[in-house]
Amino acid sequence: AQTVTQSQPEMSVQEAETVTLSCTYDTSESDYYLFWYKQPPSRQMILVIRQEAYKQQNATENRFSVNFQKAAKSFSLKISDSQLGDAAMYFCAYRSARRNTPLVFGKGTRLSVIA
Amino acid sequence: NAGVTQTPKFQVLKTGQSMTLQCAQDMNHEYMSWYRQDPGMGLRLIHYSVGAGITDQGEVPNGYNVSRSTTEDFPLRLLSAAPSQTSVYFCASRRTRGLYEQYFGPGTRLTVT
Encode pLDDT of A39-90 as tens digits.
999 999 999 999 999 988 999 999 999 999 999 999 999 999 999 999 999 9
CA atoms A29, A8, A92, A2: torsion sign? positive
- Cβ separation B45–A102 shorter than 8 A: yes
Chain B residue with CA closest to A106: the answer is: B42
pLDDT at A76: 98
Over 90: is that where the pLDDT of A1 sits?
no
The CA distance from A83 to the nearest CA of chain B, in Å, is 24
A57 touches chain B (CB under 8 A): no
**pLDDT tens-digit profile of B54-63?**
999 999 999 9
Q: Kind of pairing, strands A109-114 and A10-14? A: parallel
Give me the total of CB pairs closer than 8 Å, taking one residue from chain A and one from chain B.
47
| A41 in B contact zone (CB under 8 Å) | no
Residue B97 has pLDDT above 80, yes or no: no
Please answer whether residues A115 and A47 qualify as being in contact, where contact means their C-beta atoms are separated by less than 8 angstroms: no
Q: Any residues with CB less than 8 A from the CB of A28 and at least 6 apart, and which?
A: none
Inter-residue contact B68 to B29 (CB < 8 Å): no
* pLDDT at A99 > cutoff 90: no
Q: Which residues from chain A sit within 8 angstroms of residue B43, using beta carbons?
A: 91, 105
Percent share of chain B, pLDDT over 70: 100
Mean pLDDT over B91-108 rounds to 89
> Among residues B54, B28, B57, which one has the least CA distance to residue B44?
B57
- Residue in chain A nearest B54 by alpha carbon: A100
